[in-house]
Amino acid sequence: MRALLAGDPDGALEHAAAAEAIGLRARSFNAQLMAFTVRMQAHLDRGTAAEYADDVRALMAEAGPEIPAMYYAAPARFLLAAGDASMARTLLRATLADPARGRPKDAEWLECHWAMADVAIGLDDRAAAALLAAELAPYAELWAVDGLGGAVFGTIAEQLGKLAGYLGRPAEAGRHLAVARDRYEQAGTPALLARLDALAVPRPEAQPIGAGRLQRSGQVWLLEWRGRRSTVPDSKGIRDLAVLLAHPGQPVPALELVEAAGGPPAAAAGGSLGPVIDATARRAYQQRLADLEEDLTKAEENADLGHVERLRAERSMLAAELAGALGLGGRARFAGDPAERARKAVTMRIRAAIGAVAEQDDALARHLRNAIRTGRVCSYQPEETVSWQT
């Protein structure tokens, strides 16, 4: 740990090997975990995370699902640095879906939340970053330490500064980073001071959120978002998005989107053919959702991330199906209802269009998922003002 703080990751790796050898003679799995902790930080400091990624995956598989889900945060942060975002995405989804469950306030809480903050910034997830900034705020003066002397991440003030900068709060970022610098100077930690010196805090003017481009060019649409340019094939869903982005904050009936994309005129809509779902089927849906909630609670308590993901996926699918069959106040929708047909068609094709965008620009797709509202009336509701060329 001291070698890491002094900026000597190679020396830290040598010490880790010696400590692990002692632990193996004592048959101590915890000693392996301590060496593992040092090695992860050393490879991060050296910029060689990819070289150790397979070892991280193997050890996490050996650890199994018994540990709380938040303990996956540091390995997820490491694998994200190595180019593998799968564990990081799963972790953030779990964090946002149920922020409090499965995150005990123990000795690992600070370092796990430090790691999750890095993950949120790395995945460009503003919602997760804002949540983590609020949860870490009371602990600015404390240090995040991974393991009993394995690696020091730094003071929480530094991480709060990074989060504030990412969220577009430069004055707050400056205050937190000044506190962190003072603590690092007092502690005599040159590696952490050097990291602060190299830290470029994102500011709104450096990463503008206020402009985008979605314009048709023949059979493709040109995309531009935060300096990244790409193209996606023409589709009705992309045309729907173009209409909504051109009218931010304005409600647009799904029937009008159908018409704008080449469908029948909204005024020519006909009548309905009866309820979409009967009472028996509705009760079956609701019972299965209740069973899923119970199973999900158990899986989260056991930190079984794979099972949690599968259960959440089924819950989301069933909830969407039930919501599609019910209207306001839980009243049944009616088959053949033109507004209902339009709602279903537009929702499906917008979802597919955002999926196509995600293959080219994940950050833009995430922005659209957060800002687009679908239903019988659709809208584009960004958190901040965005000017689109369409």
Domain contains 129: yes
Sequence-ordered alpha helix ranges (H) in the chain: 2-5, 9-25, 29-46, 49-63, 73-81, 86-97, 109-122, 126-136, 156-166, 170-187, 190-198, 236-246, 254-260, 279-301, 305-325, 338-360, 362-371
- Specify whether 106 is located in the same domain as 46: yes
- Specify whether 83 is located in the same domain as 44: yes
Domain contains 227: yes
Q: What is the extent of the structural domain holding 285?
A: 211-389
- Specify whether 356 is located in the same domain as 254: yes
For helices 9-25 and 29-46, give the axis angle rounded to 10 degrees. 170
- Specify whether 240 is located in the same domain as 373: yes
Contacts of 115 (CB under 8 A, 6+ apart): 73, 74, 76, 77, 153
Domain termination site, one of 170, 198, 226: 198
- Enter the pTM of the model: 0.53
- For 148, phi and psi rounded to 5 degrees? -80, 75
- Specify whether 240 is located in the same domain as 340: yes
Cβ atoms within 10 Å, residue 48: 14
- Specify whether 229 is located in the same domain as 369: yes
Domain contains 133: yes
DSSP assignment letter at 233: E
Domain termination site, one of 198, 228, 258: 198
Domain contains 203: no
* CA distance to 134, 226, 234, 246, per residue, from 239 (Å): 38, 21, 8, 11
Query: Can you give the pLDDT of all 390 residues of the chain as single tens digits?
Result: 889 888 899 999 999 999 989 999 999 888 888 888 899 999 988 889 899 999 888 877 776 656 677 888 888 999 999 888 888 888 888 776 766 666 778 888 899 999 999 999 999 888 888 888 988 999 999 999 987 778 899 999 999 999 998 888 888 888 899 999 999 999 998 889 888 888 755 443 334 456 788 888 888 898 888 878 888 998 999 999 999 998 887 888 888 888 877 766 655 454 443 455 556 666 676 777 788 888 878 877 777 776 777 777 677 666 666 555 554 344 455 455 677 788 888 999 999 999 999 888 888 888 898 889 888 888 888 877 788 887
Domain contains 365: yes
Cβ atoms within 10 Å, residue 264: 13
* CA distance to 58, 60, 78, 84, 337, per residue, from 54 (Å): 6, 10, 11, 11, 54
- Specify whether 337 is located in the same domain as 363: yes
Burial label, 114 (beta-carbon count in 10 A; 0-12, 13-18, 19+) = buried
Domain contains 21: yes
Distance in angstroms (rounded) separating the CA atoms of residues 383 and 370: 9
- Specify whether 12 is located in the same domain as 79: yes
Q: How many structural domains comprise the chain?
A: 2
- Specify whether 183 is located in the same domain as 218: no
